[in-house]
A and B are shown apart, each in its own frame.
Chain A
């Protein structure tokens, strides 16, 4: 295992060669204010106590670490544990971040929250935090995602948020993020932008990681309590990378293998995928330097995945760093492999995972032969209710 220093980023927001702050000058002051607030409240006992209170009483933390014995038997793996982020309030890990950032926004005197969303889980989690803390909320969402995640659109509206359809580009998460940044550039005085993953300009990748670390902190404590040993391997799906960093980070200094699973869509060779760490090269999108799907001329390529939450051409800079350091390994699974894993988890364990999370399970299936005598933890980042319509369409033969 490498002896690299994982206390990143530096004060300019760099994780090795990745990260930084590539944004219009208009946003620099706001990012500095946000950074100052984050640095202050990160170590503020009152803030941390308040956050902990909400996470416990409102979000239902700690989420269980559940031993999936039927899945173990099906995959012939010694032990498999599911970190049940699907049981957190609103149904995914996204709430850990939005409650944290909304508390910061309130302390910074902001009155309005904006967000981008792909699967709608981050949008729902932002709308939830806005309702809870009495802030107004607008969520940008690509038209394609509005179609395939209709239930989450309605949930956001029920919670009092306005969903703004984005019709540019690939009409998915990348374009929703562009529009959210444009909104922020225009309304920066009274608005806080809650980015939904460990992407964007400094301090977002580090700040969102800090709010998501709770997943790994709990999982580490839970497995030690139950098994008295650390797991051999931890798996998580990687879209922007927040659930993965959240569970990986507390294990970075341990002898634990970390495996991130990207969406290979129709297959890496087909070109229709969302796997920048597996098949991209470094570049700048949405404010930071990281691995990226791009053309030879530096134009951003459209990503493809059956999972709206993974359908993004970029990835958080810390993952690029962990990849180059060799500290984490990144693999990819196709749409079909993810669907197969989803069905397996439904039938063996009675758990319908989100399509995103099904990629993590599929990663374990793919590597099962090498995991026979291992203790494996899978971050089950969210529940699959939102995907039921997509699945029903697929079964009816009218899927994408």
Chain B
């Protein structure tokens, strides 16, 4: 079983909710990324998403846009991220998922990407600008090697959602808001009902929900109606504010721990 599948099976067995954390790879540098992943794992993250920086991140708000810009200014590339993952695999077995816009992957070569990513220990890939209709080649090439995590949005109708679920692997990434990434003071009031509807259609594919989650209260709200929550911009903000000094890592760990505890407060309550 893959690391990702194993993780979701373990969470389910223990009646726990998953915590998926996103950081931009190479912000503030690739060495820092390794340390950050280890810190996230130790603080209780179940999966880490590594954002591959892109010049034109059109599904992202200012926080991740800027992180992406900082990483690119450091000369970070997909190739360098893969070699970082390779060395990182000596330090942690946490499931790692790359989040990349399509062009860097297409430019690298789809087949070569799948082979190389799987070889260094990447477990899955999320491509925010590759909807169902365009993802066939990547899915075919990835079968048995990498999970190709599909996205669904509040605007996705049920019939389409069924097709997305049938084609997807790893988990289903439900976008909680009609919009771009970034922290939000409040989530849509209809979110719980939407998640319950999506969960029914998702069946055996674990449901993870993200976009806009930045507080333990929001984590609990979303966690109650999903299998896992995804937190990104809130972490990227802490990293850009406090850096990766011991104090910075401490602040990040504390925040992740607060999310972890908030989710663990839900276990057994169902």
Contact = CB atoms under 8 A, between A and B. Distances in A.
Contact of A283 (B77, B106, B132): B106
A169 interface: yes
B175 A25 contact: yes
**What DSSP secondary structure best describes chain A's contact surface?**
mixed
B38 to A, nearest CB: 26
Given A185-B178, A283-B106, A29 B157 contact: yes
B155 A285 contact: no
Nearest to B100: A298
Contacts of A21: 131, 133-134
A169 B155 contact: no
What is the interface residue range for chain B against chain A?
A: 35 or more
B72 A299 contact: yes
A284 B102 contact: yes
A188 B129 contact: no
A294 interface: yes
Interface stretch (A56-64, A89-97, A174-182): A174-182
Nearest to A186: B179
Nearest to A26: B153
B147 to A, nearest CB: 17
B56 A294 contact: no
B253 interface: no
Contact of B55 (A29, A186, A299): A299
A12 B133 contact: yes
Contacts of A181: 58
Interface in B114-154: 128-134, 151-154
A182 to B, nearest CB: 5
Given A168-B65, A182-B58, A25 B131 contact: yes
Contacts of A297: 77-79, 104, 107-108
Nearest to A301: B55
Contacts of B180: 182, 185-186
B171 interface: no
Contacts of A284: 101-103, 106, 129
A394 interface: no
Question: Most B CB atoms within 10 A — which of A28, A174, A188, A300?
Answer: A28
Contacts of A30: 155
B105 interface: yes
Interface in A58-102: none
Given A297-B79, A299-B55, A26 B154 contact: yes
A23 interface: yes
A28 B164 CA distance: 12
Nearest to B161: A25
B160 interface: yes
Given A186-B178, A297-B77, A300-B55, A22 B153 contact: no
A397 to B, nearest CB: 33
A286 interface: yes
A398 B101 CA distance: 39
B54 interface: yes
Interface residues of A, number: 35
A305 to B, nearest CB: 18
A350 interface: no
B149 to A, nearest CB: 12
Contacts of A12: 133
Given A285-B56, A297-B79, A298-B78, A26 B104 contact: no
B56 A29 contact: no
Given A169-B55, A182-B180, A186-B179, A25 B153 contact: yes
A190 to B, nearest CB: 11
A188 to B, nearest CB: 6
A9 to B, nearest CB: 13
A284 B107 CA distance: 9
A186 B180 CA distance: 7
B87 interface: no
B65 A298 contact: no
A23 B129 contact: yes
A118 interface: no
Contacts of B151: 24-25
A20 interface: yes
Interface in B174-231: 175, 178-180
A292 B133 CA distance: 22
B166 interface: no
B59 interface: yes
A189 interface: yes
A186 B55 CA distance: 20
Interface string A315-330: 0000000000000000
A174 B179 CA distance: 20
B107 A294 contact: yes
Contact of B175 (A26, A189, A283): A26
A75 B105 CA distance: 47
B2 interface: no
B174 to A, nearest CB: 10
A18 to B, nearest CB: 13
A349 B178 CA distance: 52
Question: Most A CB atoms within 10 A — which of B59, B65, B175?
Answer: B59
B156 interface: yes
A298 B103 contact: yes
Given A26-B179, A181-B58, 14 more contacts: A12-B133, A20-B133, A22-B102, A23-B131, A25-B151, A25-B152, A26-B175, A28-B155, A185-B178, A189-B178, A284-B102, A292-B103, A299-B104, A300-B103
Sort A-B residue pairs by CB-CB distance and give the 5 closest, nearest first. A298-B107, A298-B104, A186-B179, A26-B153, A299-B55
10 contacts: A22-B131, A25-B151, A25-B164, A175-B56, A178-B56, A181-B58, A185-B178, A285-B103, A298-B104, A300-B56
Interface of A: 12, 20-30, 168-169, 174-175, 178, 181-182, 185-186, 188-189, 283-287, 292, 294, 296-300
